[in-house]
Amino acid sequence: MRKRLLSILIALLFLLTACTGTTVSENTVNYKTDSSLELHFIDVGQGDCILVLSENTSMLIDAGTKESGHKITEYIKSLGIESLDYFIGTHPHDDHLGGAAKVIREFSPKEVLMSDELSDAYFYEELLETLYKENISVTVPEIGCRYREEDFDFKFISPYESFGDTNDNSLVMMIYFKNTNMLFMGDAEKSVEEKLLEEEELKADVLKVGHHGSRYASNYDFLRAVEPTVAVIQSEKGNMYGHPHEEAIERLGEVGANILRCDELGTIVLKCDGEKIYYNEEELIKKEVITQISYIGNKKSHVFHRDTCGNLPKESNSVKLNSREEAIILGYSACKGCNP
C-alpha cells in the first residue's frame, strides 16, 4: 500500500524541466538590509542545513534530521523570515531531508528542487505527502542549467548521470555571487570529484565539504582545483562515523583552507561582499599552501601512502616517492586510508 502511494505521489509531484534559467523571486520581500550574501550553516548535529540569504532571495539547502526540524524552523523565523524562495534537497538521506516536511509546512517554498533519486523511507514519504498537501511540485533540475536570480546565479554541476550510490548522486551546486563562488558538495565523494575535475571550473572561495568531512571525499586533486579560502564541515561531535576524518582535515589544511566545523563552533554564519568572505566580522585570508608532501611506496604491495599515513610499510619495504605522478608512473596504487 505505502509503495503504491509513494509511486502515485512521485508521478504527481515530480516535474522534469528543461533549462529556462528564469528567476523565481520577483520579490517585494527584503530578507536583508545590505547587499551582501550570507551563508548560515545551521548546526543540526550530524546532518546538513544551509540557509543562503541575499537581499532579495532566500534559499535553504537540505534540512537536517527529523529531530532538527524544529530548530531549523525556529532559527529561520528568528531572522524574521516567513517564507522561502527555494528549498533544495541534495539527496534522500534522513540527515539531509529529515526535517524537510516541517520546513515545507512552515515556509511553503516557491520552488522545490530535488534530484530524481528516491527513497521509501518514512521521512521521504512524509515529505512527498506534505508537498502534495501544500500543492507544491518538485522540480528535477537539469544539470548544467544556470539559474539567474536578482542577486546571484546558481548551477547544479552534478550528477549528469547516476553514480549508482545515493551519496554520490547528491545534487552538487555552485553559487556565483559577484566575484565569488561557493561550492556545495552534498554527500558526494571521490568518483564525483574525479568526474567534476574533467568537466567543470571548480575554483570556489567557499567549499561546503563533501559528506561531513569523510576521508573518501575532499581528495587532493579536487581540492587543488577548488582552492577554497574557507571549508565548512557540518557534522556532530562524537558522531558514530568519526566525521570529520583526520585525513580530510589534513588535505584541506594543505591546500590553505580555513577550516570551520559545526561540531566545534555550532552554527556558522559567513558573510560575503562579493569579493571577500567574513566570519564573525573578520576577513578570512587563505593560508599558506603546503606544496612539499612526500609519499612512501610499499615495494611489496605496490601501494603508496602519504608520509603521515598510519599504515606505512616497514623500513625495508619502503621507497620514497617524490610525487603522486611519479608513484603512478611506477605502477603504485593509492592507499585507501590516506588517499594520497
CA 283/CA 130 separation, integer angstroms: 41
Does 167 interact with Zn ion (rule: CB under 5 A)? yes
Radius of gyration of the chain (CA): 21
- CA angle 96/201/88 to nearest 5° reads 20
Pairing of strands 277-279, 268-272: antiparallel
Question: Taking the complex as a whole, how short is the minimal distance between the CB of residue 47 and Zn ion, in angstroms?
Answer: 6
Does 62 interact with Zn ion (rule: CB under 5 A)? no
Only segment of 35-43, 54-62, 127-135, 163-171 that touches Zn ion (CB under 5 A) = 163-171
> Which of 151, 187 has the CB closer to Zn ion?
187
Does 93 interact with Zn ion (rule: CB under 5 A)? yes
Under rule CB under 5 A, how many of the chain's residues touch Zn ion?
A: 4
Does 187 interact with Zn ion (rule: CB under 5 A)? yes
Q: Angle of helix 69-78 relative to helix 100-107, nearest 10 degrees?
A: 30
CA 29/CA 199 separation, integer angstroms: 37
Question: Taking the complex as a whole, how short is the minimal distance between the CB of residue 169 and Zn ion, in angstroms?
Answer: 9
Q: Which three cell numbers stand for residue 111?
A: 520552488
> Which of 187, 263 has the CB closer to Zn ion?
187
Question: Taking the complex as a whole, how short is the minimal distance between the CB of residue 290 and Zn ion, in angstroms?
Answer: 28
Question: Taking the complex as a whole, how short is the minimal distance between the CB of residue 328 and Zn ion, in angstroms?
Answer: 30
Contact map string, positions 111 to 130, toward Zn ion, x by CB under 5 A? --------------------
Q: Which three cell numbers stand for residue 155?
A: 548551477
| Residue from the set 62, 85, 94, 95 that interacts with Zn ion by CB under 5 A | 95
Does 263 interact with Zn ion (rule: CB under 5 A)? no
Question: Taking the complex as a whole, how short is the minimal distance between the CB of residue 61 and Zn ion, in angstroms?
Answer: 12
Taking Cα atoms as reference points, which of 293, 299, 300 lies closest to residue 338?
293
| Beta bridge partner(s), residue 38 | 53, 271
What are the backbone dihedrals phi and psi of residue 286, each rounded to the nearest 5 degrees, phi first? -60, 135
Residues at the contact surface with Zn ion, assessed by CB under 5 A: 93, 95, 167, 187
